[in-house]
Structure 1
């Protein structure tokens, strides 16, 4: 590739003006010799007096525009028309663009490690960020509800195939790990209950302990936490990667609603699969507690099931099941919302995936505490 005409720079003074006459091609291959001349102009002349005559410039790229822009950048109005003479196809516009985007930032002041003011400042910024995040999440939830309502009014727009796919990926494929974890949770509860209750001669109440804890709390809570860690991160990563590659923008250009195509299938799939996964978790947890009771307390599986049926009301089962769809919706909403907020770099994707999992688990535990207080007040 030819290097082109070497860049040169002539300087003349006319009254109060210092006129620069750049000539030749001001591109990265040809400007090596004028760099020191530009530095000398910055030192010797006031930027407010400099005028650039662009009429003799050949080719110019951002490197050449940056060097010429340095001579007027310190002026209060570096892009004023009186700084430029002559005409050129791109030089004037390119120099102006470079001046607007190149900002000399002062170094950050050293951060103080101690001080109550700084501590309260960080706390305030954190609370403000939490408030904005909560508002954005509620706004996303509202947008999702309105989109779902419009889809229900036109059922032919509902995307069944991606919904079934997400149900398999987020639901069916998560069942083994959920079952294994709740099996061991039930076993641990039974083992601890057996050791504690046996000292009081009430080891038979281990059946009630396992049944109540698994049906009301552990089954649905373990399911929600696994969904938050496994499926929620996948939602954020999938939508976030599409956002990074501008596929979501392409969908909007084609007239497709990203909420209708990406968010609604995931929300519906999670709401439908969460109760089924919770039921599987309950069965696995009870089975784990039954095996430990059989091994340590000599409580046969037949007696275990019969006692559960006689002493534990069905309302405890429905308490756990009623939480599952709510948890599924929370997890899907947060995962999709964080995916939609991914920026254009991988670092942003990593931050959003982490925020998605953390926020989902936090909200699941908070909402579960709310359910517990509500059912306590209702005596259920």
Structure 2
């Protein structure tokens, strides 16, 4: 493809039309109503298009800027028709996980279901206008609404997790999630949030968070985080877990260590939640346990408030010595969602503007619950059910 910095005339001169034998037809020049001659675009010929005729070299040169857009569209179409492909072939990926495109078309949510304000524009305008330190206290009716939407979120997570196995694509899991949300008259909160293209985040192995579901097939030995959020009755819920994909993952001591350490770090953080607990103490508990198991907290990402908005205050840090202000009060709802890794906390961002991976390619895990602070302690609104898929496993015994 010709560099955009070159002039249209110079580019078109390099693309001098060739003259295969053909019957005259209408010229493809947008500003031309003449019959075409035997001159045809050579790039189109290379791409397999055999009817891109122009009346003259001058007309072709004049219409080059518009016509070359056809080449880009044809190249994308060719990639799609030729099967899965990596959209960022020149990017250095830190681990084994690569994007597999094309992405499936955006899934629709019926208009009868209440949409958040970013559903059309991609911009959460109300959320962006919130006061950064004002934390909402929910009344009894709002608390019941949060219980309902969080119950739905748990149901959807369990439905999707039950389908997570070797041989299925993350796009298939997105389809399952989307359908389950719609069946509950709920909008999948991530869909078009800051232009995120899917209904669930699927983060595999070294992917820290915000993995975009695509055509990659899950392999025996992978670990997978499913991050489910949905919007129902004017309120949001947020929950995620990391799952073992196949028996190989459960037999891998390192995968078990990172998953079970992260699970327990969240449990220990939840255990201290009650009225009066400083928000900063949550990170102290998480990091202390992570270090005891030789795991590292990724500090970039934290928990957050959640109610009628997706990410209102407060911010919940998962590392020690943070300076988060404020304390838990009855009626507050927020998430705790630590991300731990086996290696360095340094990250790299993929060119898709969403996916984050560990820079050293080491595996990560994340767990998240939405919580309500009560008068005496905490209610975990997204708690696991007795029949929820996944769950903790013991560390495997490794022979010398």
| Fold match (TM-score > 0.5) | no
Larger relative helix fraction:
1
Which structure has more strand as a fraction of its residues? 2
Larger Rg: 1
Q: Smaller-chain TM-score range? A: under 0.3
